[in-house]
Chain A
Amino acid sequence: MNKENHTPFVSVKDVAMWYPYHGKRQQKGEKDWIKAVDGVSIEIEHGEILGVIGESGCGKSTLGKILTRLENPTRGDCLIDGVSTKEMIKKDAKKFRSTVQIVFQNPFDTFTPRDTIEKILLRPLKNYSIGTDNEDRRRICIEALEAGGLRPAEDILKRFPHELSGGQLQRISIIRSMFLNPGFIVADEPVSMLDVSVRADIINMLIELSKSKDAAVMFISHDIALTRYISDNIAVMYLGRIVEYGSADEVVKSPMHPYTQALISNCASIDPEDKQETISIEGEPPTPLNPGPGCYFAPRCYMACEECYKRYPEPVVSETGHWAACARIGENGK
């Protein structure tokens, strides 16, 4: 790809989200920060699914909220087709909302409990003047529901959200987002609250949409196997930073960063004979309270050296574009 004159579809530029910390450790004149997201830059193309994985508290959900502008970052910006989303939302909020959509983690709480599915689905159609009249809009809803495998659609329209299952609600949530024909969808742990046997439906629906509508998808998850299944590329986050990025297969099969290695080696497999050597790391991810100056992972890393504590390592890029931010890459045979 020619980097010089190609504008990536979604481009995240040095985005950070810091919250002031009011704790007992605070000293006069110094401000403590919780760095939920701390300098993330990443690009997503049309039709690409980018998986973002990490443990709880690594900032992956905050990143999703920043990209959809449900939160405003402390620093940095996100560009869509080269246009700053900060400007977009100021100029024409509706247009931005129809370009960027989000699928939430909890389908049971995505819809207002007081309205029927019909009311819920008609609302965005009216707001965006899709369809000529209510009759036409109802027809659009029914067609969309049936295409999404929700039958009988007439019956579903009459239901209240609490009368439907999580899988059905999550499908309706995606269908509603697709009414606006978004170019970029953030899926924030869309299946983690669903039963295993219906997860595949939602996953396959997202893949299908990304391919047929050429939409960019950011798939946020803590489930590595699932993320590898759905994604083209994977970014691994730790304490608000991306520590490794590459194609899904490369990241999972030959992880470069010690954190990714530990994460993958600890991932339980459904094959009982697949007893791999696990890499143990100490403790759990700490709160991102003033991390650094060195590598954020160094205190838990099994191969950290003095150098690691001094400054944040530069990313090491392989020929395939797979990179990791670690000072000791190549020293452990990977």
Chain B
Amino acid sequence: MIIKSYKTIKSTSLVAKKLVKKGTKPWTIVLAKEQTSGYGRKKTFWFSPKGGLYFSIILPKSNIEDLQTLTILAAFSIGKIIKESFSLEPFIKLPNDLYINQKKFCGILTENVILGKEVKSSVMGIGLNTNIEKFPDELKEKVTSLKIELGRKVDNEKVLKQILKGVKEQLKIISQ
């Protein structure tokens, strides 16, 4: 697994999709400290200031049904990690959003390129509000961060490694 780290980029998924076109290997991770145009489904803006954890995984070629399952299982993995590591009670809004106290703190977006019936490439983008101290007024009633909920900083690197391990294990299980 190779992690390509960036300071500030538009979006980790955009960079990952460009890398795929250049032939970058699966399980390459694009990680950014800050995204200027982070996005979710239907290109909705994902607030991504410094402090949060933003990364995209170039997934190995899988069939489309497995990718659907993987997106759901990634959400479960993240929920489990957050619950076990920080004793928080995350709620998974299936298939791909996670909430704490009715406020969103994590989103997952899997993007595939399909030719005929074949999945040519897949990128799973994950935005996790870890150490964000405050949100703009228009968001603060709807979103939260682990730091706000816990009152302390979390180790982004450690959380990242746990999530990557979880996603990899899940994919291994479902593609067996």
Partners in one complex: no
Question: What residues of chain B have their CB less than 8 Å away from a CB belonging to chain A?
Answer: none
